[in-house]
C-alpha cells in the first residue's frame, strides 16, 4: 500500500478547508441534484420491509432491466448470452472488479497518459504493474504506441472517453482500432464511459462494445454519479464477458455483498427519466464551458489547453518551471482558487493543472475563473 499514490482530492480538500473562501475548480462533480423521480423511488423502497435485507450480488432485476434498455438505446450495445450486466458501488468499484477479475499479481495493465488516478491506484493495489503509454499533443491515443507496449504479461488496455482529466473525446475509429488490437493480442479492452453524456461541439461518445465481435474481450464501465447528480449514492455498472461473471461476483460478494439497494431504487427512478435529464442541465453546463474556454484563451501567453470536447475538465499546460503541486498550493493560499496538479494523472513533463467546471454556474464561474487568471498571472506571469 505504500506504493499506491495518495488520493489527491482529500489532500486538496484539506488545503481548501485550511483556506476558507476558496473556490474549488478541483473535484469533478456537477452542480445539479438527482431528479425528483429518484427520490420518489426511495419512498417506495422504504415502504417494503423486504428491501432492508441483502439483495442480489449483481443488482436488483428492475435496475438490470433499466440498464439493458438504456444500453440498447443510448450506446447501441445489445446484451446477449455472451455478456452480463453487474451493478456496482460506483464506477471505481466497477474498475477494481475488472482488474481483480482479469489479472494475477505481477501482470501489466496499460493506462494512457493522462490517466484517471484511481485507475492507477487500483492496478497497484491488485499487485499489478501499470504501464503508462503517452498520448499525443492533443491527449489522443496513439494506437502504435499502445501496440508497442503490449507484452506477454499485459492483461488489459484501459481507455477513458470522454476523458478525465483532459476532456478529450476519442474518435470512433481510434476506439475501434484499440479494441481490434486487444482482440488480436488476446487482452481485454476496459473502456470507461462515466462521462458519456457530456459532449460538446458535435462530438460523440462511442461505445466499443457496440461493435460486432467485441463481447468476449470488452469490459465497459458506466456511472450515474455525473449524469444524474448521483455522486454520493454510489451506483455504477459494468458490462462484462459472460466468462468473467463468476469471478466478478466473487469479488463483489466479498467486498460489498450487494450494491446498496436503496441507491438502486433511486437509480431505477433516475433512469426512468433517462438521458433527457442530463441533457437539460448540459445546456447550462455548455454555456459555462464557453466562459471557461474564453477565459483560458485570454491567457494564451501563460499556457494552453488542447481541445476539450467532453466531460467538464480542461488540462491546462502552464508555461512555468514551477512544480504543479507548488503552483496549486500557491493558487489556494494566495488567490483562494483550487485546481488539481497534473502529476496526479501521470503527466510528468512540464507543469499541468486540471480545471474542473462541472460544479460551476454562470453566477460562480466568473469569480472562480477570475481568481484563476489573476493567480496565474501573479504566480507565473510575475
- For the record, the C-alpha cell of 325 comes out as 503541486
Report whether the peptide linkage leading into residue 9 is cis, meaning its omega lies within 30 degrees of zero. Answer: no
Tens of pLDDT along 171-220?
Answer: 999 999 999 999 999 999 999 999 999 999 999 999 999 999 999 999 99
Tens of pLDDT along 232-270?
Answer: 999 999 999 999 999 999 999 999 999 999 999 999 999
SS3 247: helix
The pLDDT, as a whole number, for residue 114 is 97
SS3 65: helix
Domains of the chain in sequence order: 8-28+276-381 (3.90.1150.10), 40-273 (3.40.640.10)
Ranges assigned E (strand) in 231-302 = 236-241
- With b for 16 or more beta-carbon neighbours within 10 A and e for fewer, the 141-153 pattern comes to bebeebeebbeee
Contacts of 47 (CB under 8 A, 6+ apart): none
User: Which stretches of the chain score pLDDT less than 50?
Assistant: none
The pLDDT, as a whole number, for residue 26 is 84
SS3 159: strand
The pLDDT, as a whole number, for residue 382 is 61
SS3 13: helix
The pLDDT, as a whole number, for residue 366 is 86
Query: Among residues 332, 292, 282, 335, which one has the least CA distance to residue 316?
Result: 292
What's the whole-model pTM score? 0.95
The pLDDT, as a whole number, for residue 68 is 98
- With b for 16 or more beta-carbon neighbours within 10 A and e for fewer, the 33-72 pattern comes to ebbebbeebbeebeeeeeeeeebbbbbbebbbebbeebbe
Amino acid at each position: 500500500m505504500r506504493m499506491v499514490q495518495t488520493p489527491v482530492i482529500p489532500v486538496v480538500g484539506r488545503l481548501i478547508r485550511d483556506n476558507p473562501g476558496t473556490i474549488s475548480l478541483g473535484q469533478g462533480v456537477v452542480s445539479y441534484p438527482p431528479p425528483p423521480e429518484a427520490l420518489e423511488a426511495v419512498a417506495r423502497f422504504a415502504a417494503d420491509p423486504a428491501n432492508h435485507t441483502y439483495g442480489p450480488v449483481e443488482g436488483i432485476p428492475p435496475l438490470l432491466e433499466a440498464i439493458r434498455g438504456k444500453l440498447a438505446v443510448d450506446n447501441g450495445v445489445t446484451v446477449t448470452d455472451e455478456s452480463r450486466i453487474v451493478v456496482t458501488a460506483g464506477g471505481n468499484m466497477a474498475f477494481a472488479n475488472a482488474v481483480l477479475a482479469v489479472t494475477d499479481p505481477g501482470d501489466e495493465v496499460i493506462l494512457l497518459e493522462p490517466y484517471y488516478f484511481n485507475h492507477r491506484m487500483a492496478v497497484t493495489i491488485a499487485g499489478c504493474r501499470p504501464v503508462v503509454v503517452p498520448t499525443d499533443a492533443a491527449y489522443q491515443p496513439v494506437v502504435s504506441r499502445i501496440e508497442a507496449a503490449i507484452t506477454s504479461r499485459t492483461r488489459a488496455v484501459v481507455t477513458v472517453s470522454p476523458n478525465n482529466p483532459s476532456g478529450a473525446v476519442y474518435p470512433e475509429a481510434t476506439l475501434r482500432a484499440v479494441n481490434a488490437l486487444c482482440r488480436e493480442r488476446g487482452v481485454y479492452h476496459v473502456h470507461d464511459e462515466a462521462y458519456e453524456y457530456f459532449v460538446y461541439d458535435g462530438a460523440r461518445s462511442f461505445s466499443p462494445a457496440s461493435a460486432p465481435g467485441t463481447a468476449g474481450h470488452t469490459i465497459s464501465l458506466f456511472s450515474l454519479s455525473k449524469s444524474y447528480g448521483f455522486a454520493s449514492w454510489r451506483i455504477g455498472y459494468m458490462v462484462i464477458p459472460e466468462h468473467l461473471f463468476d469471478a466478478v461476483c466473487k469479488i463483489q460478494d466479498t467486498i460489498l455483498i450487494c450494491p446498496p439497494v436503496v441507491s438502486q431504487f433511486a437509480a431505477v427512478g433516475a433512469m426512468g427519466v433517462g438521458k433527457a435529464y442530463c441533457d437539460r442541465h448540459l445546456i447550462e453546463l455548455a454555456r459555462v464551458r464557453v466562459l471557461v474556454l474564453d477565459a483560458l484563451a485570454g491567457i494564451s501567453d501563460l499556457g494552453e489547453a488542447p481541445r476539450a470536447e467532453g466531460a467538464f475538465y480542461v488540462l491546462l499546460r502552464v508555461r512555468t518551471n514551477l512544480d504543479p503541486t507548488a503552483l496549486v498550493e500557491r493558487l489556494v493560499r494566495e488567490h483562494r482558487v483550487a485546481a488539481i496538479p497534473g502529476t496526479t494523472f501521470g503527466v510528468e513533463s512540464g507543469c499541468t493543472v486540471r480545471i474542473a467546471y462541472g460544479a460551476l454556474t454562470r453566477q460562480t464561474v466568473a469569480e472562480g475563473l477570475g481568481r484563476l487568471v489573476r493567480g496565474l498571472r501573479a504566480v507565473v506571469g510575475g
